[in-house]
Amino acid sequence: MDTTTAMDALRQLQIETPSWAYGNSGTRFKVFAQAGVPRDPYEKVADAATVHRFTGSAPSVAIHIPWDRVDDFAHLAAFARGEGVSLGTVNSNVFQDDDYMLGSVTNPDPRIRRKATDHLLECVDIMDATGSSDLKLWFSDGTNYPGQDDIRLRQDRLYEALAEVYARLGSDQRMLLEYKLFEPAFYTMDVPDWGVSFAHCLKLGDKAVVCVDTGHHAPGTNIEFIVAFLLREGKLGAFDFNSRFYADDDLMAGSADPFQLFRIMHEVVKAGVVNAGSGVSFMLDQCHNIEPKIPGQIRSIMNVQEATAKALIVDQPSLTAAQLAGDVLGANGVLMDAYNTDVRDLVRELRASIGLDPEPMQAYAASGYAQRISDERVGGSQAGWGA
């Protein structure tokens, strides 16, 4: 693909940022507070809009319930539009209530299962109010010890809840089912991998699709294979981009293994689903611990853009020819040539073409926004993990 065509394709890339990335967050050991952190969902939206103003590629912000609960979600959606963004994916939370110690929708107690399912249904109500089309579900449900609960029965409970929520979805709404290999349950997770998510989505129907979180796999997992398979089956609904060295570190996308991000985006480009409206959503899912919040999101978007740009300039005809000829090293060389190409000028040119500063990080630093929110956001309670 020539650079002009690549730039046109890259211009279509939209990356959703998460509201929780702008609050105080960290690890189970410590959450380090930072100045200027939002105190309510409106200030989170304002920060997300700031990221979009400097990148031009982040037109929506995901919300998390109950962290982002407000009295009037239609009003919050209108505020977002006024800031130049929209409210995107609605994320449920059935993992931070004491009742959910032994699980939420898979809990042995029917009262707790009902409570959890009702929360998921409430999230669909919020989607109706905000105009969101995607409901993202992640479950911390699982067990810590052999014999703690019936593994098969927990899958029955899970599907029962999913089916009830699925039936509540509108015709233009989807369910994104995320997975995680481990944590907080350490013996079994009820949705541990893409296969379990895929199986449930397949049974539920067309409006249920898999969300691939790039940090939720065992070390050495070939994530691009999972992406290629799900694309082939029409069941890849979204990405949660982050990066990790060991477990689910929630580092900036592309920071730990930029080559992996390139390989993933290569599969996305080949399938022709980079553009908005393709049925595959691109989202960040990060909880910044030691890095500033807004610059962390800007850098992540830049990393995804550059990985996508490299994927877009892969010489696909030459790659296909080498593959069909059984030219192992030639095919690998075509990929490596694209990966080793410096595409930063191309992305800078893209930003300039839409009236943005070619260097978002420097432009944000010079804007004074960080100092302004530090001065203005005094008093109240800072948003953070669990709020």
pLDDT tier, 386 (very low <50, low <70, confident <90, very high otherwise): low
pLDDT score at 2:
78
Q: 34 — phi, psi (to 5°)?
A: -125, 150
Query: CB-hemisphere CA count at 13 Å for 204?
Result: 29
With CA atoms as reference, report the closest residue to 135 among 114, 161, 106, 98.
161
Whether 376 shows a pLDDT value over 80: the answer reads yes
124-133 per-position pLDDT tens digit: 999 999 999 9
79-112 per-position pLDDT tens digit: 999 999 999 999 999 999 999 999 999 999 999 9
Average pLDDT over residues 50-71: 97
Query: Over the range 248-271, which residues count as b (16 or more CB within 10 Å of their CB) and which as e?
Result: bbbbbbbbbebebbbbbbbbbbeb
188-227 per-position pLDDT tens digit: 999 999 999 999 999 999 999 999 999 999 999 999 999 9
* More confidently predicted of 195 and 4: 195
Q: What angle do CA 27, 92, 239 make, to 5 degrees?
A: 75
pLDDT tier, 184 (very low <50, low <70, confident <90, very high otherwise): very high
Average pLDDT over residues 33-46: 96
Q: How far is CA 324 from CA 24, 297, 327, 329, 350, in A?
A: 51, 40, 8, 13, 34
Whether 387 shows a pLDDT value over 60: the answer reads no
pLDDT score at 122:
98
Q: How far apart are CA 252 and CA 286, in angstroms?
A: 7
pLDDT tier, 31 (very low <50, low <70, confident <90, very high otherwise): confident
Percentage of the residues of the chain whose pLDDT score is greater than 90: 90
Amino acid at 125: D
Tell me the domain boundaries of the chain.
Answer: 7-310
Average pLDDT over residues 298-311: 98
Domain over 7-310 is classified CATH 1.10.357.10: no
Whether 249 shows a pLDDT value over 80: the answer reads no
Amino acid at 336: M
Average pLDDT over residues 145-153: 98
Amino acid at 9: A
Percentage of the residues of the chain whose pLDDT score is greater than 70: 99
